[in-house]
Structures are given as C-alpha cells and as structure tokens.
Amino acid sequence: MKKVVVEFYSPRCKSCRDVENILEEVLKGFRDVELIKVNVLENRELARSFGVVAIPFWISATYCINL
C-alpha cells in the first residue's frame, strides 16, 4: 500500500508558498508517505472533483495497486 498527501496549490498563492517548506520538512519524518503537488491553475477539473474551494488544500490517502 502507498500513502500519499495531495497538496492542491497555486504558484500565485502566498499562503501556499509560506507552508510549502514546512509541509515538505514534516513529511521527511514519514518515509512511507509521498507528497503529490497539484497546481489548481493547470488542473481545475481535478481540483473540482476533490471539492477544493480554497487553497492550500490537502488530502491524505492510502491506495493499493495490484500488479
């Protein structure tokens, strides 16, 4: 199983830039968690599908892929 944190952000968002380094530093302590960053300006439909109404916005998930 893979654990991920998905961060929805915009490069124009000051709050997003302010917490970016903090989030990356915190996640270093969790070797089994991957950070996936989604630019909402480039992925509007994906952001809508996850109910993003304000940024920064995070979700965590665990998924399993059978190969």
Distance CA 60, CA 63 (A): 10
Domains and CATH numbers, the chain: 2-63 (3.40.30.10)
Query: Which tens digit of pLDDT belongs to each residue from 26-48?
Result: 999 988 899 999 999 999 999 99
Nearest 5°: phi and psi at 51? 75, 25
* pLDDT surpassing 90 at residue 67: no
Cis peptide upstream of residue 11 (ω within 30 degrees of 0): no
Query: Which tens digit of pLDDT belongs to each residue from 4-26?
Result: 999 999 999 999 999 988 998 99
Predicted confidence at residue 46, as pLDDT, reads: 95
Distance CA 67, CA 1 (A): 12
Q: When comparing pLDDT for 1 and 18, which is higher?
A: 18
